[in-house]
Each structure stands twice: as C-alpha cells, then as structure tokens.
Amino acid sequence: MNLLQSLIDASSLGAVYALAALGIGLTFSIMRLINFAHGELIMIGGYTLYLSASQPYLVMGLAAILVVTVLALGMERVAFRPLRRASPATLLIASFAVSFLLQHVAMMIFGARPVAIDFLSPLNQSLEIGSLRVPWLQLLALAVTLILLAGLSSFFRWTAIGIQMRAAAEDFTMARLVGIPANRVIAAAFAISGTLASIVSVYMVAQTGGASYKMGVNMVLFAFVASVIGGMGSLAGAALGGFLVGVVSVLLQTYLPEGMRLYRDAFVFGLFIAFLLWRPQGLLVKASDRERV
C-alpha cells in the first residue's frame, strides 16, 4: 500500500513537471531556445495571485493566466525576436539575462522573503481510501494535466496554427520558405508556453501557500532535465520525461534512508547523468533528428 501511495504522489508531481517541461520543449522545438526565463513566468504567476488575493479564486487564477501569457508574448517580442537569427548559445545567454533581470525586479518590488497567499487552500484536504490519503489538489493537478495534454494533442493535429507549429518544429527554415508566418508561429508557441507556466504557478501557490522570487528556479531546472530525458524538441517526450522525473523523485524521497533524503536531488541528477551516458538523444527522437544522425 505504501508503494501505491508513492505512485499516486509521483504521478501528481510528474504531472506538474510535465507541464513545465512542455513549456520549455515547445519553444525549443521551434526556435532551438532553451528558455530558462520560463521559471520567471512561473514566478510572475505567483505574484499575480498575491496581488489579486482579495478576489475570488476563479478571478485570481484567470488573472494569473492572462498576465503570464501576455508577459510571455512580451518576452518573445522584446528579448528574443531581435536575436532570432543568433546562435543557440546567444539565445541561451539571453534567456539567463532575462531570468536574472526579472528575478531582481521582483525582489526589488516584493522583497526577498516569500509572501503568503491563501489560494485554493480547501484542496489541500485529503480524500481517504482505506490507508491511502490523496489530497484533492493532487487529483486536480493530474486531471488538469491529462486534459491539457489531450487538448494540445488535438490543437497540434487539427488546427491550422497547430499544424504550422508542427511544420516549424520539423524544419523551421523550410516552413518559412513555404509561406508559414514565422512571427505568428513563434508568438503562439510563447503564448502556450506562458499559459502552461501560469498553470504550474497556480499549482505551486496552492500547494505551498506562498510565492517568492526564486519559486520557479528549481521547477525550471527539473523541467529542463525532463525535456532532455524525453528528447529535446519532442513534446511527447517532454511530457513523458516530466512524469518519469516525478516518479523518480518521489520514490527516492520515500525509499532512501532517512539520513540521505536531504540529498535526494543529487541522486536525481546523478541518475540523469547516467541516463545521458546510456542514451544522450533522449527517449523519443523526432524523425527529422533521426535522419541527421
């Protein structure tokens, strides 16, 4: 029964990692940009919930989604569009610069200490089934993730902009040559990425009851690991990697000796290095990438 409890906890955590990894994988698949400023989108969502704390929960959540999505679009227009033809290394440095800038602006405005937020606190109560105790928030996180994965799959398969994004992810240069509008496709990728980041921030604030200027740092790091494990550029791989990282993290937290649980993240990253030595291309490889090998 303890194993079943651990698997339930791992699934909910993996669902959140999957959403964060999808946000990173989406921009990478089109622009070859590893956007470490994605963590600051999560942070902005948290502070938006803080500023709208006097409003109903629904209004707070919608405000966070709207603000973060608009900020993601602004980030693409101001910071990354002028560097679109630059090398991936330049784009990576730019993402770090945007990340540190937003962190320090938030620290100047809100201070370095975490702020408390009462958001969806009733969902922290647990559903008890025998000896199993499952917080409603975990069930909601898993359900929302599955719905979003199904929705994104349909979006990429059946909508015009979704098909254009898939084409751009396969070969961006060729997609532009056949008339696919680059600005619209990249803006759509950032908008979806921002929406996913806002949903992650909603979960994190509901779980922890607070926000801080560093709240997105660890999340984006684990999301990046999940993206690499799944296969950079593969959205299905990003989701799969997110669930795997969540499962490994929870199982290590559960079954490591008590004195070693403090070093759980070190074990996670150690396993990550071992995985890359075995399969550096990740679990799922796009057909276009496989042809280049």
pLDDT by residue (tens digit) across 72-110? 999 999 988 888 888 888 888 999 999 999 999 999 999
Question: Where does the pLDDT of residue 290 fall: very low under 50, low under 70, confident under 90, or very high at 90 and above?
Answer: very low
The whole-angstrom separation of Cα 43 and Cα 257 is 33
Does 261 fall in a domain?
no
Given a contact cutoff of 8 angstroms between Cβ atoms, the answer to whether 223 and 206 are in contact is no
Q: Which residues have C-beta within 8 Å of that of residue 276, sequence separation ≥ 6?
A: 228
The whole-angstrom separation of Cα 2 and Cα 7 is 9
Question: Where does the pLDDT of residue 44 fall: very low under 50, low under 70, confident under 90, or very high at 90 and above?
Answer: very high
Does 104 fall in a domain?
yes
Q: Averaged over 144-162, what is the pLDDT?
A: 88
Q: Who wins on pLDDT, 182 or 287?
A: 182
Given a contact cutoff of 8 angstroms between Cβ atoms, the answer to whether 49 and 58 are in contact is no
Strand locations in 58-157 (E): 115-116, 126-129, 132-135
Does 67 fall in a domain?
yes
What pLDDT is attached to residue 107?
93
Does 258 fall in a domain?
no
Does 269 fall in a domain?
no
Does 27 fall in a domain?
yes
Full residue range of the structural domain in which residue 130 is found: 2-216
What pLDDT is attached to residue 105?
94
Q: Is the pLDDT of residue 199 over 90?
A: yes
| Segment 205-246, tens digit of pLDDT | 998 889 999 999 989 988 888 888 888 777 788 888 888 888
Q: Is the pLDDT of residue 285 over 70?
A: no
Handedness of CA 263, 268, 269, 271 (dihedral sign): positive
Does 71 fall in a domain?
yes
Residue bearing tokens 């979006």: 155
Does 63 fall in a domain?
yes
Q: Averaged over 241-266, what is the pLDDT?
A: 84
Q: Is the pLDDT of residue 292 over 50?
A: no
What pLDDT is attached to residue 287?
52
Q: Is the pLDDT of residue 169 over 80?
A: no
| Structural domains counted in the chain | 1
